[in-house]
């Protein structure tokens, strides 16, 4: 495979489109200018043009990682054994100690993770960043710099995430306000009932700040069963009342995986009606029932969540592998199901992130990834090597997994 990192091709010749057609993609000014049927032996572009011959590789729009924590990863640092901690509060305290001990600065670790994401075809990511009384805005400022430094290779949204609570953590409401003023795109939240013990108190702050800054909302909700379901409906109520359809996400929403049929239906109906999206990373045992949510019209999308950090040692940043993990948890088996799994890491996630020129149509941004697969179903099930990755029309990875020197 040719190493063409940094090049700006005029055309991708002989790609396989998800609908099964073989096509030539003409690129111009970082966008898809035209999609023409590929005619073997016929050169449809002027001589001397910069062309990548794709030999039938499947082209997908750039993958989207809808939920990650760039500030938490230990990538870029020596391996950190996982510590066993008890309650959520203990784990949060444990994480702060570990992240201090690891020694490598946030920016360096986040960049190591971003590099891996790019090499795996992720073109858009939504990262939460801890805002708490100890860290203040340090993590946010580091990630704002990383975002600027990598903007030619990946687009990053930042969520100001109150990992240590809102109502119960002194000064955090003001810090979140400052974070949004400094460049965070969304306001986060954390288990309003289970962590802060004050659903209205936390949601007042979160929705209030979102309103003041015109920011989106993305709330971590681990609270299970009826406790979680009640909060999902409370979030849906506020979203509808404030006309924020499409701007609000609940991440994890484990409760949806634990409800009986009637309460699940009622909660899913409320989420769909309010336009609240659900993010899952496919956790064992507690994954929301994604096909049932789809049938209710709830928009679901996917993210890696933690990638090799204090929360767990797993995570490869590979969103096609993530689609397999979700598919195995959710029993997604048919080609239609696998297409749905793919949508969680492409179209659906792009829609939640508000990307307006995303996709495989003329005019869309040329954020693309090519893989060796016969179609979308195989791309998910086999999550094969990424052959080329383009961002705004520029090749940002080419056979990266192949040619990259070992990372030890």
Binding site for its own copies (CB under 8 A): 16, 55-58, 78-79, 81-84, 284-285, 308, 312-316, 321, 324-325, 327-329, 331, 333-335, 337-338, 372-375, 377-378, 381-385, 387, 399, 401-403, 406-408
- H helix or E strand, kind and range, residue 202: helix 199-213
Nearer to its own copies, 195 or 388 (CB): 388
Quote the least distance from Cβ 261 to its own copies, whole Å. Answer: 18
Nearer to its own copies, 44 or 385 (CB): 385
Quote the least distance from Cβ 217 to its own copies, whole Å. Answer: 28
Q: Please tell me the distance from the alpha carbon of residue 282 to that of residue 58, in angstroms, as a whole number.
A: 25
Nearest to 65 by CA among 349, 335, 268, 288: 349
Please identify which residue in the block is written with the tokens 């970082």. 30
Q: Please tell me the distance from the alpha carbon of residue 53 to that of residue 365, in angstroms, as a whole number.
A: 20
Q: Please tell me the distance from the alpha carbon of residue 158 to that of residue 249, in angstroms, as a whole number.
A: 13
Quote the least distance from Cβ 324 to its own copies, whole Å. Answer: 6
Quote the least distance from Cβ 81 to its own copies, whole Å. Answer: 4
Nearer to its own copies, 29 or 335 (CB): 335
Q: What is the b/e burial string over 224-240, where b = at least 16 CB atoms within 10 angstroms of the residue's CB?
A: beeebbbbbbbbbebbb
Q: How far is CA 373 from CA 3, 336, 395, in A?
A: 20, 16, 20
Q: Please tell me the distance from the alpha carbon of residue 207 to that of residue 188, in angstroms, as a whole number.
A: 10
Nearer to its own copies, 84 or 262 (CB): 84
Tokens of 142: 């580091």
Quote the least distance from Cβ 49 to its own copies, whole Å. Answer: 23
Q: Please tell me the distance from the alpha carbon of residue 106 to that of residue 72, in angstroms, as a whole number.
A: 8
Q: Please tell me the distance from the alpha carbon of residue 391 to that of residue 38, in angstroms, as a whole number.
A: 23
Q: Are 76 and 112 in contact (CB under 8 A)?
A: yes
Please identify which residue in the block is written with the tokens 């949004």. 180
Q: Is 62 exposed, middle or buried (0-12, 13-18, 19+ CB in 10 A)?
A: buried
Nearer to its own copies, 361 or 404 (CB): 404
Quote the least distance from Cβ 326 to its own copies, whole Å. Answer: 10
Nearer to its own copies, 308 or 392 (CB): 308
Nearer to its own copies, 114 or 387 (CB): 387
Nearer to its own copies, 95 or 185 (CB): 95
Quote the least distance from Cβ 48 to its own copies, whole Å. Answer: 26
Which residues does 405 contact at the CB level (< 8 Å), separation at least 6?
Answer: none
Quote the least distance from Cβ 336 to its own copies, whole Å. Answer: 9
């Amino acid at each position: 495979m040719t190493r063409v990192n940094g090049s700006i091709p005029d055309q991708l010749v002989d790609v396989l489109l998800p609908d099964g057609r073989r096509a030539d993609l003409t690129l111009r000014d970082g966008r898809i200018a035209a999609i023409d049927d590929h005619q073997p032996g016929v050169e449809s572009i002027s001589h001397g043009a910069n062309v990548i011959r794709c030999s039938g590789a499947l082209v997908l729009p750039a993958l989207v990682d809808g939920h990650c924590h760039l500030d938490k990863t230990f990538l870029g640092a020596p391996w950190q054994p996982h510590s066993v901690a008890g309650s959520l509060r203990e784990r949060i305290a444990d994480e702060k100690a570990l992240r201090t001990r690891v020694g490598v600065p946030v920016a360096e670790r986040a960049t190591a993770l971003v590099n891996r994401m790019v090499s795996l075809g992720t073109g858009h990511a939504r990262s939460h960043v801890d805002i708490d009384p100890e860290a203040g805005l340090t993590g946010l400022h580091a990630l704002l710099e990383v975002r600027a430094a990598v903007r030619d290779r990946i687009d990053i949204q930042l969520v100001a995430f109150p990992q240590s609570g809102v109502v119960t953590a002194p000064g955090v409401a003001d810090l979140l306000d400052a974070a949004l003023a400094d460049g965070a795109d969304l306001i986060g939240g954390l288990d309003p009932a289970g962590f802060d013990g004050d659903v209205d108190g936390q949601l007042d702050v979160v929705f209030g700040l979102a309103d003041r800054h015109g920011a989106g909302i993305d709330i971590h909700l681990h609270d299970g069963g009826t406790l979680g379901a009640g909060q999902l409906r409370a979030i849906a109520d506020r979203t509808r009342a404030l006309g924020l359809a499409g701007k609000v996400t609940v991440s994890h929403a484990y409760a949806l995986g634990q409800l009986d049929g009637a309460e699940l239906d009622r909660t899913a109906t409320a989420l769909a009606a309010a336009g609240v999206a659900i993010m899952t990373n496919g956790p064992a045992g507690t994954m929301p029932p994604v096909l049932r949510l789809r049938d209710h019209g709830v928009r679901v999308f996917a993210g890696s969540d933690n990638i090799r950090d204090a929360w767990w040692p797993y995570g490869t940043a590979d969103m096609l592998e993530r689609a397999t993990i979700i598919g195995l948890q959710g029993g997604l088996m048919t080609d239609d199901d696998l297409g749905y799994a793919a949508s969680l890491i492409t179209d659906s996630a792009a829609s939640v992130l508000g990307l307006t020129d995303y996709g495989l149509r003329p005019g869309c941004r040329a954020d693309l990834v090519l893989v060796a697969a016969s179609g979308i179903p195989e791309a998910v099930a086999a999550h094969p090597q990424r052959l080329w990755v383009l961002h705004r029309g520029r090749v940002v990875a080419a056979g990266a997994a192949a040619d990259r020197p070992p990372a030890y």
